[in-house]
Amino acid sequence: MSSGPTIGVLVNPIAGMGGRVGLKGTDGPDILARARVLGAVPVAGLRAQITLKELAAKIQGLQVKSPPGDMGESVVREVGLEPEIVGTSRYKSTTSEDTIRLARQLADEGVDLLLFAGGDGTARDMVSAIGGNQPVLGIPAGVKIHSAVYAKTPLSAAALAKRFLNGGGRNCQDAEVLDIDENNYRQGRLNTRLYGYLKIPADRRLTQGLKAGSPASDRSDQQGIAEAVAADFDREYSYIIGPGSTTNAILNYLGLPATLLGVDLLHSQQIVECDLNESELLESTAGKNVKIIVTPIGGQGFIFGRGNQQISPAILRQVGKDNLMVIATKRKILDLKGRSLLIDTGDTELDHQMAGYYKIITSYNDRIVYKVECG
Amino acid sequence: MDKRFARQTRKFHQAKWDEEIIFELHNPGERGVMVPAVEKGISDRVGDGLSSLPASLRRDTAPSLPEVGQMRVLKHFLRLSQQTLGADLNIDIGQGTCTIKYNPKINKHLAGLPQVTEIHPWQDESTVQGALEITNNLDTYLRAISGLDYFSFQPPSGSAAIFTMASIVEKYHRVRGEQDQRDEIITTIFSHPSDYSAVAVKGYKVINLQQNEDGLPDLDALKAAVSERTAALFITNPEDTGIFNPLIREFTRVVHEAGALCCYDQANANGVLGITRAREADFDMCFFNLHKTFSTPHGCGGPGTGAIGVTAELRDYMPVPLVVKSDDGYQLDYDLPHTIGKVRSFYGIFPVILKAYCWVRAMGARGLLEAARVAVLNNNYLLNRIRQIRGASAPYAEGCHRIEQVRYSWEQLTDETGVGTEDVTARMADFGFHLWSSHHPFVVPEPFTIEPTESYSKLELDEYLSGLEQISNEAYNKPELVTAAPHNSVIHRVDHSTLDDPEKWAITWRSFLKKRPGEQLDRKGK
């Protein structure tokens, strides 16, 4: 057998089952049981098949490693490939622990790219399992897809994977894993958190180019943004730094400890406090001059209301529109394909006040004037 | 006339020589020319020719140039030339934004006359009156075409012309004491990327304007962008999408009201010659690439000319010297009080100026207008036909005509077949067509940019279209044929991702050997 690149295939067989029956997700065994009662059928395997079939046809000598049964093996066999079985899995009672354990085993086995089919919950498990070094790519199969680690469709996952596996550079980019609290979501409240980052293949079609920036220049843009922000730091102000890798780069540049996923407070280029919640933020900034630095979180371009709810309407009112600094790499902005950035604080009146044009800091000496609308 | 190729592609095959890099042809002692020993009479008069140089200027070792015989050198470069697809071989309409048109060969012969090749820029003005006259005449033609008042031919490229405009902007505000305050230059996402990069080199903060749903830069975004910090607007119109911004006078008004200057990138003016002018749109400066709109060769990266024009108010800021006409003939004028100095030696690349001059003279005013009209007609014919190709689309301004080029998308083709623009580009090479891969800033998914200019006949446009149509059919019926392309070209796919990795860059042979120590041996051993 000719030896081509090796991929890992991991399917969360229950992902997406809640969608068609209106359950908004399948996190936890009770909901899954209810989904089954309502007649939900597995969809993740079928979605993964589309991707795998395309990859099997396009890549010569493709090697596949996967867990047995529903969590990979059956999908791989379905498209006519012979998987090397890794680990053990249970029949029809998959849990988050299974996903984490098997993802870790696949990564340890050594795969060029780990494909996983699921939703935001599955992506969170991937973060717990393998962190940021193993290249991965999500095949969208879940009900909730807020995370940027997923390709647009199973076919585009195949295209991206093929480019990555066949290309010489194997460039990756960091992509966010977001999830919402399903309980709140079922009750109509959207509370998104940023859970971490995974390395996914860089989409060269959109990132190659002088203005748009390559994955390498995406990193250097983050550095450029950090330098631009640091150069203009005003000692009269405290700075609320929102979550995300782009804001994190500012603190790294200043040599300060940072919470990638939390909100930090700075003054005179020093940390005042890390990882504050809303009331701590209100308390620490009362009566002070404050600026807020945020970056859009997730693929949909929310600057407020996804992953940074600690910066609440009360804080935004206190700080004011003029003291809001939005930072984002060009890639992030161009990935929006012209759609406006969004704001959804839960306070409609405030959202309207905050909407308008912002000079987004995209690198050192580089800005883009971009529209922010109510989400 | 044989019209076969209006409906089908050619049986083409590119030459492939597997040719070495010139350094690999190095054979110690081999020589192209055996230079005779210096005769005694000469060395008695001038010495050995070296010892009169200061020791600090003399090198200890000879440069490590490849030592290769004359015939082998000739063969080397002819082979390389056979491995390219130049504008004189293929239907070169797939290089949108480059404005590839026919460069009449007679102009090349004229530029090769001794009256051109044997003059030197240090010669006294009185001895090069003809060259100065031609330069000054071309200046006056460009004044009529743009409506602006003075032109300089000093910048050797479009990006150099943009840099020159940015230098004038900087000096203008410096003279007014506002230089420190005005540190921002506004441009648009679909302006040519050099409008971004060349002003950044000048040290300006660049403010980009996003396009709206119609593909036009957003006027409200401009209004939000201008302030007392704005130094200038740098903009292309039509933009790289081929869409003309009808609100351009609003743009220049908003910018002027903020106390800033308006700079028009007309590197490619091919669709608007004789139709619109910088003057009427209230621009303070513009430039034309003679190697685009005015039919001088691109020359694989030069020499070109970015002829920069300004209003009378900005004449004092121009690079020196300007070629001027007086009762005593033509002179070089260095007396410009606020001049930015020089952006290149002397007063321009005369052979380029001459070729552009000849082209304008041959065309005449009506001919220039006709060139623009035919270019626009060609473009809209292609637009209409390409929209009918399965999987292709022309994003933005749905249903509207375009000016001289269009940035198309294969997004649908990619979604439906997995065949992307890179694949199509490679497959086009199998038919002897060039479809290039640069569409900065990659806002349009799976982009391709077509600019037919006036040089190509309908039959040739049809031949090119038949290539695109065939590839679309193949993508839907036999996609592996396209994704494995090229089959008839000189090399297979080039992996560009190494361009993102500074560790792998090698712009000289020496750095190649340093970064890839085993490589030379491997190549020799194969």
> CA torsion B132→B137→B143→B149, rounded to 10°?
40
Please write the tens of the pLDDT for every residue from B177-192: 999 999 999 999 888 8
Give the SS3 label for residue B124: coil
CA distance A322 to A354: 9
A367 part of contact set with chain B, CB < 8 Å: yes
Q: Given pLDDT bands bounded at 50, 70 and 90, which one contains residue A216? A: low
CA distance B153 to B322: 9
For residue B446, is it within any domain? no
**Which comes out higher in pLDDT, residue B299 or A247?**
A247
Residue A26 has pLDDT above 80, yes or no: no
Q: CA separation (Å) from A359 to A212, A294, A312, B504?
A: 17, 13, 22, 35
Is A155's CB within 8 Å of B415's CB?
yes
Would you call the peptide bond into B486 cis, given omega within 30 degrees of 0 as the criterion?
yes
Residue B477 in domain: no
Question: B476-523: per-residue pLDDT in tens?
Answer: 999 999 999 999 998 877 766 667 677 778 888 888 888 876 665 555
Q: Report, as an integer, the average pLDDT of B453-478.
A: 97
CB-based contact A73:A86 (threshold 8 Å): no
Residue B406 lies in a domain: no
Mean per-residue pLDDT, B249-264:
98
Minimum CA–CA partner of A335 in chain B: B443
User: What number of other Cβ atoms are within 10 A of residue B426's Cβ?
Assistant: 23
Q: Is the Cβ–Cβ distance between A306 and A300 less than 8 Å? A: yes
Distance, first Cα to last Cα, chain B: 48
For residue B401, tell me if it sits in a domain. no
Percent with pLDDT over 90 in chain A? 45
Residue B321 near residue B334 (C-beta atoms within 8 A): yes
Chain B residue whose CA is closest to A167: B495
Name the DSSP letter for residue B278. T
A214 has a chain B CB within 8 A of its CB: yes
Tell me if chain B has a CB within 8 Å of the CB of A373.
no
| Residue where one domain finishes, among candidates B305, B335, B361 | B361
pLDDT at B525 over 50: no
More confident of the two residues A321 and A203 = A321
Q: Give Cα B375 distance to the centre of its chain.
A: 18
**Helix (H/G/I), strand (E/B), else coil: B164:** helix
Residue contact A369–B208, C-beta within 8 A: yes
Say if B221 falls within a structural domain: yes
Strands B306-310 and A290-294: unpaired
Percent of the residues in chain B that have a pLDDT greater than 70, as a whole number: 96
Q: How far is residue B313's CA from residue B287's CA, in Å, rounded to a whole number? A: 16
pLDDT in tens, B231-248: 999 999 998 889 999 999
Output the six-digit token pair for B34.
Answer: 């055996």
Strand B406-409 with A113-118, pairing: unpaired
Which has more confidence, A335 or B105?
A: B105
Find how far residue A165's CA is from the centre of its chain. Answer: 22
* Among the partner residues B196, B204, B496, nearest to A208 by beta-carbon distance: B496
Distance between CA atoms of residues A73 and A82, nearest Å: 8
Find the mean pLDDT for residues B264-281. Answer: 96
Tell me the shortest Cα–Cα distance from A153 to chain B, in angstroms.
9
3-class state of residue B94 by DSSP: strand
What is the separation of C-alpha A194 from the centre of its chain, rounded to a whole number of angstroms? Answer: 7
How close A164 gets to chain B, by Cα (Å)? 10
Q: Which residues pair with A343 in a beta bridge?
A: A304, A374
Higher pLDDT: B443 or A352? It is: A352
Segment B59-115, tens digit of pLDDT: 888 888 999 999 999 999 999 999 988 889 999 999 988 999 999 999 999 999 999
Q: Are strands A63-66 and A6-11 parallel, antiparallel or unpaired?
A: parallel
Write out the two tokens for A231: 């150069």
CA of A368: how far to CAs of A68, A190, A362, B178, B197, in Å? 49, 29, 7, 23, 14
Interchain contact, B442 vs A155, CB within 8 Å: no
Residues of B in contact with A341 (CB under 8 A): none
Three-class SS string for chain A?
Answer: CCCCCEEEEEECCCCCCCCCCCCCCCCCHHHHHHHHHCCCCCCHHHHHHHHHHHHHHHCCCCEEEECCHHHCHHHHHHCCCCCEECCCCCCCCCCHHHHHHHHHHHHHHCCCEEEEEECHHHHHHHHHHHCCCCEEEEEECCCCCCCCCECCCHHHHHHHHHHHHHCCCCCEEEEEEEEECHHHHHCCCCCEEEEEEEEEECCHHHHCCCCCCCHHHHHHHHHHHHHHHHHCCCCCCEEEECCCHHHHHHHHHCCCCCCCCCCEEEECCEEEECCCCHHHHHHHHCCCCEEEEECCECCCCEEECECCCCCCHHHHHHHCHHHEEEECCHHHHHCCCCCCEEECCCCHHHHHHHCEEEEEEEECCEEEEEEEEEC
Which of B299, B331, B361 represents a domain boundary (last residue)? B361
pLDDT for res A93 = 60
- pLDDT (mean) for B133-158: 98
State the pLDDT confidence band at A186, using cuts at 50, 70 and 90. Answer: low
DSSP class of residue B346? T
H or E stretch at B41: helix B40-46
Supply A151's token pair: 């390709």
Q: Give me the helix-helix angle, B158-175 and B193-201, nearest 10°.
A: 50
The stretch B189-196 carries a mean pLDDT of 88
pLDDT of B426-445, one tens digit each?
999 999 999 987 666 677 88
Closest CA to B131 of B329, B336, B365: B329
Is the bond into A67 cis (omega within 30 degrees of 0)? Answer: no
Subunit contact A369:B445, Cβ cutoff 8 A = no
Indicate the residue type of B506: A
B6, part of any domain: no
Instruction: Give the model's pLDDT for residue B192.
Output: 86
CA distance A90 to chain B (A): 35
Minimum distance, in Å, between the CA of residue B65 and any CA atom of chain A: 31
pLDDT at A1 over 70: no
By the 10 Å C-beta count (0-12 exposed, 13-18 middle, 19+ buried), A116 is classed as buried
Please write the tens of the pLDDT for every residue from A255-273. Answer: 998 778 889 999 988 999 9
Q: Are B120 and B267 part of one and the same domain?
A: yes
Residue ending a domain, choose from B361, B387, B422: B361
| pLDDT tops 80 at residue B279 | yes
In angstroms, the CA B459 to CA B39 distance is 63
- Among the partner-chain residues A169, A212, A368, the one whose CB lies closest to the CB of B498 is A169
- Closest in A209, A366, A368 to B210, CB measured: A368
Q: Which pLDDT tens digit goes with each residue over A87-107?
A: 887 655 678 888 999 999 999
**Average pLDDT, whole number, for chain B?**
92
Taking one residue from A and the other from B, the number of pairs with CB-CB distance under 8 angstroms is 122
CATH number at residue B340: 3.40.640.10
- Please state, rounded to an integer, the average pLDDT across all residues of chain A: 84
Whether pLDDT at A211 is above 80 = no
Q: Does A29 touch chain B (CB under 8 A)?
A: no
B40 is a domain residue: no
Q: Residue B102 CB: number of other CB atoms within 10 A?
A: 14
Subunit contact A169:B213, Cβ cutoff 8 A: no
ipTM of this predicted complex? Answer: 0.82
| Amino acid at site B258 | A
The total domain count for chain B is: 2
Q: Rounded to a whole number, what is the largest CA-CA distance in chain B?
A: 80
CA dist., res. B320 & res. B14, Å (int): 47
Selected residue of B240, B422, B497, B503 to mutate for chain A interface (largest A Cβ count, 10 A) = B497
pLDDT of residue B213: 78
Catalogue all structural domains in chain A, each as residue range(s) with its CATH number.
6-202 (3.40.50.10330), 215-374 (3.40.50)
Q: How far is A184 from chain B (nearest CA, A)?
A: 35
Position A128 pLDDT exceeds 80: yes
Q: Inspect the interface and report whether the beta carbons of B500 and A216 lie closer than 8 Å.
A: yes
In a domain, B472, yes or no: no
Alpha carbon of B293: minimum distance to chain A alpha carbons (Å) = 24
Q: Is B82 exposed, middle or buried (0-12, 13-18, 19+ CB in 10 A)?
A: middle
Rounded distance, CA A205 to CA B423, Å? 12
Q: Whole domain around residue B280: which residue ranges? A: 110-361
Structure tokens at B327: 């009762």
